[in-house]
Amino acid sequence: MNKLSLESLRTHSEGVGVDSDLVQASGGNTSLKSKSKIWIKGSGKRLRDSKSEEIFVCLEVGGLSASEIASMEDFSSYVVGNQSDGNGISPSIETNFHILIRMPVITHLHSLGSLMIAISKCADEIVVRVSERFEIALIPYARPGIALAKSIQEVAESACTIYVLQNHGVVFASDSFESMDILIDDFESFARELIFSMPQKDENPTWIEILTGGVLTPDEAVFLGATPFLLSNEGHEKSITISEFGELNIPDSFSDDKAQLANFYVRLAKALHKRTEVEYLPRDEVQALLNWDKEILRIGMAK
């Protein structure tokens, strides 16, 4: 079987999609480029469903320049054949950087290891240490879509195989799915061990303070709202509450996807407990994400 086949893309995507420490709900995306075409996950689709339902869409993008790709708002008109009206899949809002990065296999995750770095106020120092082992770049926070694509474009022609996205996640680039799986495993293990080796200091925030201090990533805002976590001994209709004793209370109205996200952010915060100060998304950026039509679409598709 062709190692760069659509079936291999499905197998890889399911493999990362079932691991909630790599990706949660409909977050993250994968793609495979071949000549002038790219297969990419559709917006709002879940990687773990890659073998049970159609989650990918094929685009013909061979005639586009790099500047056109970086500035493209919507790739729906480049869908091959009748897919645009046959399966109702909209290309990921992050299609731009999947095309721009030169490697054929691209995987974007919201993983535990990458976010332990990406939300830390000393992310740049940590990345320097990671760069001793990996070809890695730290991308300053940019809104998903065009803004993020243009930030990645600045280093997309480099030898980097890992792009850590501040307050967002990570992008991996490889020439095969086999090497991609190895790269993800090696990076995640290295990043987690590196962070866990950092000493805990009383002046750094506790895991509860990390969660209740603000919104850490776009997906946290989109799926859990402008105030995801509250410090309270009583339950709340729209927010996850954490009691003074560290007990978590997830609203009964939350879907399985929302509950998975909530538990992931608890694991993330506990991993950083007193190890580092963290960066939050500005409040105006959180509101912009919540009011963005492309994210409203994802919210509506959430399970």
Residue 118 near residue 124 (C-beta atoms within 8 A): no
**Which pLDDT score is estimated for 297?**
57
90 strand-pairing partners: none
Answer yes or no: do 32 and 76 share one domain.
yes
- Supply the DSSP symbol for 140: P
Last residue of a domain, one of 162, 196, 230: 196
pLDDT of residue 205: 98
Name the domain count of the chain.
Answer: 2
CATH of the domain at 80: 3.40.225.10
Residues in a beta bridge with 109: 170
Rg value, the chain, Cα? 19
Cβ atoms 41, 89 nearer than 8 A: no
Same domain for 173 and 215, yes or no, is no
Residue 102 forms part of a structural domain: yes
Low-confidence stretches of the chain (pLDDT < 50) are 1-2, 84-86
Domain check: are 19 and 152 in the same one? yes
Sequence-distant (6+) residues with CB within 8 A of 10 are 50, 51, 56
pLDDT at 293: 78
Single residue among 196, 227, 245 that ends a domain in this structure: 196
Q: What is the pLDDT of residue 85?
A: 44
pLDDT value for 156: 83
pLDDT single digits (tens) 119-131:
999 999 999 999 9
189 in the same domain as 221: no
Give the closest residue to 10 by CA, choosing from 34, 37, 46, 35.
Answer: 46
Examine the fold and report which residue of 156, 171, 196 is the final residue of a domain before the chain moves on: 196
Same domain, 162 and 219: no
- 202 falls within a domain: no
**What's the DSSP call for residue 217?**
S
The pTM is what?
0.95
* 42 plus 135 within the same structural domain: yes
CA dihedral 202, 203, 205, 208 (to 10 degrees): 50
Q: Name the phi and psi angles at 70, rounded to 5.
A: -65, -25
Q: In sequence order, what DSSP letters do the residues of 59-97 get, joined into one string?
A: EE-TT--HHHHHH-S--GGGB-TTHHHHT-PPBPTTHHH
Q: Is residue 118 part of a domain?
A: yes
User: Helices in 164-206 by DSSP H: which ranges?
Assistant: 177-196
Domain containing 224: what range? Answer: 207-301
Question: Both 22 and 147 in a single domain?
Answer: yes
